Amino acid sequence: MSSSSDNKNAPEQKSILSEKDKIKQKEFQEEAIEHINALYNYALHLTMNPSDAHDLVQETYLKAYKFFSSFEKGTNCKAWLFKILKNNYINKFRKNAREPGKVEGVLFVR
């Protein structure tokens, strides 16, 4: 049985993020996360499927975080996020149109 005193002897865990990354993460959370519900509603309108809408929003935030350094502070973050979401949706739509016979996530077994 371990006690809380055992934790005192454990080495301190170092942060994986650099100071620059911590600042980026904090700024992203302050600017972008507040728009998640609006983005989900728009994604749901586009996809008409809750699961696809969730995936689309997740991909949007992943791409937005990756390219957050290109976002100009002081401009409209919500519009920037909506543009990323819409472009992601259009790209998926085009990809699916090029591959009409492909069904994702289905395994056919004889």
Show the domains of the chain with their CATH numbers: 19-96 (1.10.1740.10)
pTM of the model: 0.74
Tell me the C-alpha distance between 14 and 1, whole Å. Answer: 26
Q: How many other C-beta atoms can be found within 10 angstroms of the C-beta atom of residue 52? A: 15
Tell me the C-alpha distance between 83 and 26, whole Å. Answer: 22
Tokens of 56: 């689309």
> pLDDT, tens digit, for every residue of 20-79?
999 999 999 999 999 999 999 999 999 999 999 999 999 999 999 999 999 999 999 999
